[in-house]
Structure 1
Amino acid sequence: MKKRGQSAMYDLRVTVESVAGFCDLPMKPGDYFEVRGSALVLPEGGHICIWALQSLMPFLPAKQRATNDPNDWIPRTARLVCPDPKGGVIYRVERIGERAEKGPSHAAAEETPPRVRLVTDPSKCTKCRACELACSAAHGGTYSPELSRIRIHSDEETCTDTPTVCHQCGTAPCVRACPAGALIRSPETGGLVLDREKCVSCGACAKACPFGAIRMEPSGMALVCDLCGGSPACVKRCPTEAVMAVLMENL
């Protein structure tokens, strides 16, 4: 069992699933090796082609690490092919065990992945800015675009208006950047929540966000989308469905 401050690491089993061509080693279906921690472990009498191994190696350490980032394709990828075009050897990579390694202090903040994510359709945005007003009213009881977590960016050259929203990253750069541990996950929604008592107004989260979705309010506090407890006000207010809340499993 992982302790607080630790993250999961998996052991792996790599099995030859099929051979469509000619493998001169040869590798046969059912041949396998395991990755246990940082060690490659072969069964007695077993072997692995070094040409195939070099193509597998960048993937294996990444596959060992646990992640709840919905943008991460590695947990969903289980099959790799030998680079020899004549071989056609397909390897199946499976997680078979779990270890623990020391992680950063914010690891607990990422244990609950977000349930929904805001998705936008710029082609439907009319720049009415109703979403900004709804957001500021929901969080501060006032209609003020300056206090909105969602923002509309206009490009005069292309005549497009694009809502900028928090992507609720599974492994969130803003969480990692915060020196005070002020960003946590809601256990109900998995959305990010700012602990205003801990926020030191340093702006590190805003600088770390790759989407420009965090900014600082006039008082110095970070404006971070918390999904409004699971029912985003901006989504309910948008008259054209330019902003939508989509379940993670449907993305």
Structure 2
Amino acid sequence: MNDEFTLYDLKVEVISSDKPMVCRHREGDYFLVEGENLVFPQTTSFSMYSLAALLPLLPAKQRELHENDWMLSDSIIACPDPNCGARFKITRTRPRTLRHSECTVEKIHSTKDDITMNMEEIKNGSED
């Protein structure tokens, strides 16, 4: 069974806006997302608060999206500090092929399996 899937590598770069940057961001600083890994250049620091705001978006940005999905078009994210003008631009850099067997020990199962299991739980009165 072929267990390959594709994720996009990303670049997350600090860009400026019309407001001054009051946090310690520097325009041009960036980090990369390569597969499941965050890669920081040695000379770059990155605010943990900004990182916390960005992290939930990154897995979605890595995946194939419907052409009308807002996650595809909305790529500029504001610094979580409302007084800071820093923005973070998320750019897809290249597709990367990964293997399910190299990312987890769990077996591959289909969405149909999940639906069947959930229906059985509902029938048996043991839904979560």
Q: How far 1:105 moved relative to its partner?
A: 8.1
Alignment of 1:101 with 2:98, yes or no, is yes
Deviations 1:189-211 (Å, cap 9, x if unpaired)? xxxxxxxxxxxxxxx7xx9xxxx
Alignment of 1:87 with 2:84, yes or no, is yes
* Equivalent runs, 1:209-220 vs 2, <5 Å: none
Looking at structure 2, the residues matched to 78 and 22 of structure 1 have their Cα atoms a distance apart, in angstroms, of 19
Q: How far 1:81 moved relative to its partner?
A: 0.5
Bigger relative contact order, structure 1 or 2, given CA contacts below 8 A and separation 6+? 2
Q: In structure 2, give the amino acid aligned to 1:33.
A: F
Counterpart position of 1:72: 69
Looking at structure 2, the residues matched to 39 and 64 of structure 1 have their Cα atoms a distance apart, in angstroms, of 12
Over the aligned positions, Cα root-mean-square deviation in angstroms equals 2.6
Deviations 1:165-220 (Å, cap 9, x if unpaired)? xxxxxxxxxxx43x7xxxxxxxxxxxxxxxxxxxxxxxx7xx9xxxxxxxxxxxxx
Looking at structure 2, the residues matched to 102 and 23 of structure 1 have their Cα atoms a distance apart, in angstroms, of 42
Looking at structure 1, the residues matched to 21 and 28 of structure 2 have their Cα atoms a distance apart, in angstroms, of 16
* Identity in percent: 32
Counterpart position of 2:15: 17
Q: How far 1:31 moved relative to its partner?
A: 1.1
- Which ranges of structure 1 fall in alignment gaps of 5 or more residues? 107-175, 180-203, 208-251
For normalisation by structure 1, the TM-score amounts to: 0.38
Structure 1 contact 7–66 (Cα < 8 Å) conserved: no
Q: How far 1:74 moved relative to its partner?
A: 1.3
* Equivalent runs, 1:1-251 vs 2, <5 Å: 5-19=3-17, 20-24=19-23, 26-67=24-65, 69-102=66-99, 176-177=111-112
Counterpart position of 1:187: none
Looking at structure 1, the residues matched to 54 and 86 of structure 2 have their Cα atoms a distance apart, in angstroms, of 12
Looking at structure 1, the residues matched to 4 and 36 of structure 2 have their Cα atoms a distance apart, in angstroms, of 17
Looking at structure 1, the residues matched to 34 and 8 of structure 2 have their Cα atoms a distance apart, in angstroms, of 8
The SS at the match of 1:74 is helix
Give the paired residue count. Answer: 107
Q: Which structure has the greater CA radius of gyration?
A: 1
Q: In structure 1, give the amino acid aligned to 2:22.
A: C
Deviations 1:80-109 (Å, cap 9, x if unpaired)? 001101102111000112212346688xxx
Structure 2 contact 75–89 (Cα < 8 Å) conserved: yes
